[in-house]
Structure 1
Amino acid sequence: MSLNSVSENTLDLGNLSYLTEVDDNLCCPICHSPLVDPVHTKCRHTFCSSCITEALETSKTCPVDRKPLKLEDVSAAPIMIANLVNDLVVLCPNSEFGCPMTCARYLLGGHLREDCAFVAVKCLGCDGTIMRRDAGSECLHQLVECPFCSSSCRKIDMENHRVECPRIIAACNHCSGDFTRSNIKAHEATCDEAIMPCESSDVGCPWKGARRELTEHTRACPFTLLRPVLHAHAGRLETLELENRALRRKIDILLPPRPPTEAAAPFFDEHTIQLLAEQEHLRSDLERLTASLSEMEIQQGMLLMNESLRLKEEVAGLRAAIGGIRMQIHWLMNTRHQAVDQRPVGGTSSSSGPQNSSAQGGNLSSGGVLPNIRRMADPLNDRVKL
């Protein structure tokens, strides 16, 4: 805490802040501030006592009309002038520390001596100084321990220490989460709720949002796709501009500007005319190149967008085809399982011979229970259409 406050002993009436604008007739012609201890000369000019004394030590003339003047010719000003100046309303010189007091200038000394809470006074517990508002029965310069970080500091500085203590819990400005002050900066650097601009903001993307949405936006941002092309064109344009400046400097060296006093229609020789013609050709070539670059930029942007749409359509078609194949395979597998489940268990004895087997096979075929059942090991001649 700063103790450089103004007390009655250090009060300077020449550096006060006045509540209203002061009339020029009440100001000293030398320091241009309201008069302090006003005096007047035999030539009827009024000055601050200290200002005119210092001025006469340098020159024995009046600072206003330059008439001869001695220190003996200076006397106290009329009491009316002193009263007018002393009744001016001023701010307390400790207003920068928080004192709200305003009073007449002649009452300022008593305010600083008795009432101002921001004047440095002697501490009751030691030989140090402390502001009057903090003075009490105990010494505020004794060391105390911080309950959060266990560090020691003076009791009078504890409030400032708590503002910077690294162990005190602080809230994140983005997600309102509670973190210690030592970790709050590291968290804010990776907080998902922090507002971030798009990575392509340098090429014109206006998007801003939470960090957790940045990845999704980058995938769909058209500026991200065009960013390499735009950077390449910007580099080419910068190169052309540099070449154009270099050519202009060469032309200015070869053809310096004529002073305005010369004739309005100057004479150009053949070499100068040739240089001017080359300059016009270069300018036209540069304009043509700029237009071509702009057209190429637009075309490449459209090509990138069309290629992206085509790839998306192909991926969608492939996904639909794979889905259809999966459905057909699933249907075939279900059909085979149903056929296997409907096959009769057991059967006639092996002594019946192949005739019984063929007869049973004929009966099953005629009954329509298991027509053309094919095993998984059999070759599949049917082709599945996509």
Structure 2
Amino acid sequence: MSLYNYVYTPNSNLICCICRAPFTDPTTTRTCAHTFCRECILRSLSHSPLCPVDRSPLTTADLSPANPIVRSLVDELLVECIHQPEGCEHTCQRQTIPLHLKDECEYAEVVCMVAGCRETMRRKALQEHVEKVHDKEDEAEQVEAADEEEGDGAEAYSCPHEKVGCPYKGPLKPSEHLTSCPYESLKDFITSNTTKMALLTEQNVMLRHRVDVLESTVQIMRREMAQVKSALGPWSRSSSELPLALQAASAGPSSREEDALAAYFPEGSGARQGTGTLEDTILGLRESVVGLAAGVDQMGRRSEMALANETLRLGEEMMSIRGQMHGLRMQMHGMMMERNGVEYGRVGNTGLGGSITKL
């Protein structure tokens, strides 16, 4: 998996679908022509002998190096130096990073090449180390050589506790000097103290590492909280930070007019406080929605009852109208029958009168 920070967003075709980073040692499958980082695909095959993309059977024998063009494309991606957090601002192609770290980077760890010194430090501190330590050692050696030439040839001994601060350097042998050395009586304390200091130093390094990890975690959490607040909008802020329109909408019952839905939005403790957590706000909203749902259900039932009553009333009115229409129809039928009877009577009388006239 690549640990580089890329200057520009890499092409999606150069991203490994397993580690989601640009290919490192790209490897292509012969069976399905999919490309992965070699380390990633080997780790995947150790868990399951299937291609991570299409789940087809796959073994290590089916792997081969990717096309040289793909290797060139990923090697030519611009990356930042791995010591960028320490201050190195160098950017170059990914394939030249090892040369930069080996020969140029001022923040890379190097070993002092002076004979007898294997101390590790950053490259930018190497010259200062040589000047302060080894140049002074050379001067001290020259002074000692001069003193030996000027002296009477007597051999000078150093105290075994020289490392902890004893300045003695003279003709007495260490065994003779230790009888009067003030550090000899403290050697047990010095040993235990040195052990404790080493342990404390190690713990301090571990604690610093943990603090760095925690700081990075806090930074990630702050960014995530900022994203959550941005997504939540006004729900993530107190009422004093809300816009005027939302402040008016969230005011108590004494500062707003009564409306038809006020009974379904009871005032809770969270609504009376100036600030509240998101959980309290969501709980208040849930209670309001439950009340509103109950109100809507009650209003629906009332509407159904009113509709049923109105339907019955309209049915009764329709039956009454039908009865009236039936009565009118019967009256019209009687009138028509009466009229037809009169007409038939007239026709009969007219026929009878004509017969009498002929006679």
Q: Same fold (TM over 0.5)?
A: no
TM superposition score normalised by structure 1? 0.34
Q: Which has the larger radius of gyration?
A: 2
TM superposition score normalised by structure 2? 0.37
